[in-house]
Amino acid sequence: MSAKDKRDLLTIEARAGHLYFRNYAKLFDKKYGFVSRNGGGIKTGNRYASDPINGLLNYGYTVLAGEIAKYVNGLGLDPYYGFFHTMHNSFQALVYDLIEPFRWLVEYAAYKIASDTNHNYRITKKDYVWTREGRIVLDDGLIRRFLELLERKFQSERPYKFKHGIKRRDGLSMCQEITIAKIFSQDMADYCVNSLPILL
């Protein structure tokens, strides 16, 4: 499928998101009731989850967006002025432009906590309830365990070839996953003042 304009790109993104989450849902035990993302992708429409996995994804994406927003605001960029998500006027479009390469961190953490063999971490029936409207409410203990796992994933290091950082003997630098978002934000700031060609 080829894209002729931005609308086509957004359509492709939405279709890819639906396909991705339909297959991602197959990784989870059916007892969680997770069959797909509510609407697919990150939208305000996903705010009220009807199952614990969507609830954790909502929570994790919010935390991730907050981490990226810190970098964007710290560099003096306008988080409401985006490049790709400009059609949305109710949230920080630039943050959601930059969040895309890092969503997998949240999705991995949600999968890990749902499939963990250690029952001290795994989701149990005591960890969530439903309201009369069918919305999921997560227990504080589950949220705390999920955030600890997510933080460990944010702080995990991997070899990452980049111009900054301490080089190892093999010529690569070690870079924390969430730190890459800071690097992207800095590149965006440099691009906005015409001092660096955009690398995203």
Q: What is the mean pLDDT of the chain?
A: 79
pLDDT of amino acid 78:
81
* Stretch 54-59: mean pLDDT: 93
Which segment of 100-104, 114-118, 180-184 scores lowest on mean pLDDT? 180-184
pLDDT of amino acid 134:
85
Q: How far apart are CA 156 and CA 197, in angstroms?
A: 28
Q: Is the pLDDT of residue 45 over 50?
A: no
Question: Which CATH number does 6-157 carry?
Answer: 1.20.120.920
**For residue range 168-190, what is the model confidence (pLDDT) as tens digits?**
555 556 667 777 777 777 777 77
Instruction: Answer for the pair 113, 123: CB distance below 8 angstroms, yes or no.
Output: yes
Comparison of pLDDT for 163 and 57, the residue scoring more = 57
- Report pTM: 0.78
Comparison of pLDDT for 82 and 125, the residue scoring more = 125
Percent of the chain with pLDDT over 70: 78
